[in-house]
Structure 1
Amino acid sequence: MKLSWIRNPQVSAMLLLGAAIVGLVIANTGLGPALDDLKHAHLPFTIFGLDLSAAHWVTDGLLVVFFFVVAVELRYEFTQGDLNSVSKAAVPTIAALGGVALPAIIYFNVAGADGAQGWPIPTATDIAFALGVLALFGRRLPSSVRALLLALAVIDDLIGIFFIAVFFTESVSLPHLGLAAVGIAAFWMLGRIYRGKRGSWPLRIALVVIAAVTWWLVASSGIHATIAGVLLGLVLAPAPAESAREKLEPFTNGIVLPLFAFTSASVAIPQVGIGELSPVFWAIVIALPVGKLFGVTIAGLIGQAALRVPKAERVRLPELIGISLLAGIGFTVSLLMNELAHRTAEELIVEGTLGVLTGSLIAAVIGAVYIAVLSRRYPPVETAAIQAQNAAEYLRRTDAEG
């Protein structure tokens, strides 16, 4: 069963949003305390020394599968897709850097010293959510718009993964890390062997076992466990990687991401006035939609001009603004970085979560309206295809007559 419907970016985005809303609603009803207890509950036994709460089994366990799929997509984009050359990757990279730098600067200035550790939170873009909104409201837009948004979000997530590895690691166990490196090397070698033996079940089982052991070693080393998923996805040979992505995508879209959204969004809204919310909340709410809008737009324009991209191939300012608005949907990676940045301050996790949800919602709503209006300026997809076909036929006949 292909489950093609759940691969649809529109469906994925709606599942994410629906799960987050359900989690937020339940957390603010009489069931809220019971849900909070469940999130913090631990198993009565450890698994090879790991003692994680139910919420951490989602963020440190299931979410690894999502990052594995993201890494497979990253590798494809950098080898065969829209980022397979320096020239193709340059503009979205510059735009992504602008979309990371300006939100971080805004956050620093608004949050102040008490919340400074959360500066990476508004730098992320949610690939699934952003592409889902674009697919839903921007069907008539040129394919170059989706390509740039995808490339921007992919590079954005790569930067976010780097932040997780560097800034949210307190101590590292070198023996565990060294053994994890051995596991990654073994995974790479076995993937290359598997490439020519696609029907070999023993090899598939061995890959799964090595991946699980490597995940445990990375989690035990002190580095966030999601890094294991990224590294394994990057080193796996293309054939088995694509096969794994195809099988895991329905699982990540239908279970992992909605469960993570539900878990992360299930926070009790503080019973305070708007003016009493912490600077962390306001920093994220402003930095996500505003920082991304101006950061991506300005950097994108500068990148296209500096690299002398031919005018016919450039993404125009109205389209770049639409991409920038959708880039302000932080959601998944922003929620994860919020939990990591504020893990010692429960009240900041709550306000940071509300900030991510509010800022992402603002960006999604404004972006959806803008994209829908912009999309109306273009002919329907069917009409555009017919026009292109007629133009090609005209040129063919002209050449034949000449």
Structure 2
Amino acid sequence: MGLIRSERAAAVLLLLAAAGGLIAANSPLGAGLFELQDAHLAIPGTPLDLSVGHWISDGLLAVFFFVVAVELKHELTAGQLNSVSKALRPAIAALGGVLVPALVYLAITAGSGYEGGWPIPTATDIAFALGVLAVFGKGLPTRVRVFILALAILDDIVAILIIAVFFTADPSIPMLIAAVVGVVVFGALSRLLHTRMRALVIVAMVVVAVTVWALVSLSGVHATIAGVALGLAMLRGPGLRVRHALEPATNGFILPLFAFSAALVPLPQVGLSGLAAPFWGILVALPVGKLVGIAVAGRLAVAVGPRDPASRLPMTELLAAGALGGVGFTVSLLMNELAFAGSPEVADEGTLAVLLGSSVSIVVSAVLVSLLAARYRRQRALAVSTPS
């Protein structure tokens, strides 16, 4: 269980699952897996009728977003983002890491008709980025991990807002109002978990959470937003305990299953010139746009941030953070699915671009983080060996 909680293990599982999905899709198993992914599963007596693929991306992934929201709430109230001064630098860097990739994508896809895919390269996979940092970053100062964690969390906030605002069409107001009431009830119930009725409260919370998810799903808003709302509504202490309990499931099952399902795409049987503009837009914007946007904005943030030398990151560390930010994976794959829902072939190419762009970012960030960590280990060893 402890291994599944490891950031390294989570990153490896995610990568293996994505690679497995791509390989399986282009093997003799592909046709059967596509058929299974498109098969519909309805809940009798309800309007809920989703394909297996959507049960994974809309249903199971809502649990992951719940866990993310609990961490967001902790960081915003008692963690690394609980004051304006702490949040300012990573916030400015995160803004650059959203705007620059979006602009790069729009510049490449201008006039193609697929400009709506601009959110795809703006996302950072927090689990994967921290996994790469854990594997290659032994010896890095704590401030680097803190900055990257804050950056990725703020990036997640932006991603959640983008999903809620740009991928919602004609929402059902009555359904949303009912969902909001359910979220309030869920939050109130979480404050009763310390009482003698704990078992009954847990059952009630599960029922309310499932009901809220169903209402949001039926409202026209993407169902993962239900997970976000429930995570933010839950009392922080119990929320962190639930997050700890769910972590093995999200790391070891939900995220790998989503990565496998999302990467289940056939390789396009066309030459490089036949690939659609979104493929090139995502492929360039993820590794290049993220790195440039985070590094440059992070550098600018030094001029306006608090005068605390211990929290300032030199350009080498900002470049490493920017490269890690280009690892899109989970949220970028979800954005791709939403942006190109009506164009399956473009969505397939977008998935490949996310996987390739994220892979480039993994390699670049691994090299930069390794070099940076080695330098700090040498400096530490030199300081220990030099007599005072």
Structure 2: how far apart are the matches of 1:222 and 1:373?
Answer: 47
Structure 2: how far apart are the matches of 1:371 and 1:275?
Answer: 34
Does the 8 A contact of 1:168 with 1:341 survive in 2?
yes
TM-score, normalising length: structure 2: 0.96
SS at match of 2:74: helix
Q: For residue 172 of structure 1, what is the amino acid of its counterpart?
A: P
Structure 1: how far apart are the matches of 2:304 and 2:42?
Answer: 59
2:351 alignment counterpart: 353
Does the 8 A contact of 2:186 with 2:205 survive in 1?
yes
Does the 8 A contact of 1:139 with 1:381 survive in 2?
no
1:397 alignment counterpart: none
1:213 aligns with 2:208: no
Structure 1: how far apart are the matches of 2:358 and 2:77?
Answer: 31
Among residues 220, 239, 242, which one is paired with 1:244 in the alignment?
242
Structure 1: how far apart are the matches of 2:115 and 2:38?
Answer: 26
Structure 2: how far apart are the matches of 1:204 and 1:75?
Answer: 20
SS at match of 2:359: helix
1:181 aligns with 2:183: no
Structure 2: how far apart are the matches of 1:313 and 1:372?
Answer: 21
Q: Trace 1:96-245 onto structure 2 (pairs within 5 A).
A: 96-113=94-111, 114-194=113-193, 196-197=194-195, 200-245=198-243
Structure 2: how far apart are the matches of 1:154 and 1:17?
Answer: 21
Does the 8 A contact of 2:85 with 2:306 survive in 1?
no
Structure 1: how far apart are the matches of 2:33 and 2:353?
Answer: 21
Q: Relative to structure 1, is the Cα distance of residues 362 and 203 closer, same or farther in structure 2, using a 3 angstrom cutoff? A: same
Q: Trace 1:2-401 onto structure 2 (pairs within 5 A).
A: 3-43=1-41, 46=44, 48-113=46-111, 114-194=113-193, 196-197=194-195, 200-379=198-377
1:199 is displaced (CA, Å) by: 7.4
1:108 is displaced (CA, Å) by: 0.3
Structure 1: how far apart are the matches of 2:288 and 2:363?
Answer: 13
Q: Relative to structure 1, is the Cα distance of residues 97 and 189 closer, same or farther in structure 2, using a 3 angstrom cutoff? A: same
Residue ranges of structure 1 left out of the alignment (5+ in a row):
395-402
Q: For residue 126 of structure 1, what is the amino acid of its counterpart?
A: D
Larger radius of gyration: 1
Structure 1: how far apart are the matches of 2:17 and 2:379?
Answer: 32
**CA-to-aligned-CA distance 1:304-359 (integer Å, 9 cap, x gap):** 21224333431111111101001000110000000000000001110110110010
Structure 2: how far apart are the matches of 1:198 and 1:287?
Answer: 53
SS at match of 1:43: strand
Structure 2: how far apart are the matches of 1:318 and 1:47?
Answer: 58
Does the 8 A contact of 2:61 with 2:224 survive in 1?
yes
Q: For residue 217 of structure 1, what is the amino acid of its counterpart?
A: L
SS at match of 1:52: strand
**CA-to-aligned-CA distance 1:276-324 (integer Å, 9 cap, x gap):** 2111100000000110111001111111212243334311111111010
> Alignment length, in residue pairs?
387
Does the 8 A contact of 2:192 with 2:198 survive in 1?
no
1:47 is displaced (CA, Å) by: 5.9
Calculate the aligned-residue CA RMSD, in Å: 2.0
Deviates more, 1:320-329 or 1:35-44: 35-44
**CA-to-aligned-CA distance 1:161-201 (integer Å, 9 cap, x gap):** 1000000011111111110011011011111222x328711
Percent identity of paired positions between Structure 1 and Structure 2:
50
1:51 is displaced (CA, Å) by: 0.8
Residue ranges of structure 2 left out of the alignment (5+ in a row):
none
SS at match of 1:245: helix
TM-score, normalising length: structure 1: 0.93
Q: For residue 251 of structure 2, what is the amino acid of its counterpart?
A: N
Structure 2: how far apart are the matches of 1:309 and 1:258?
Answer: 42
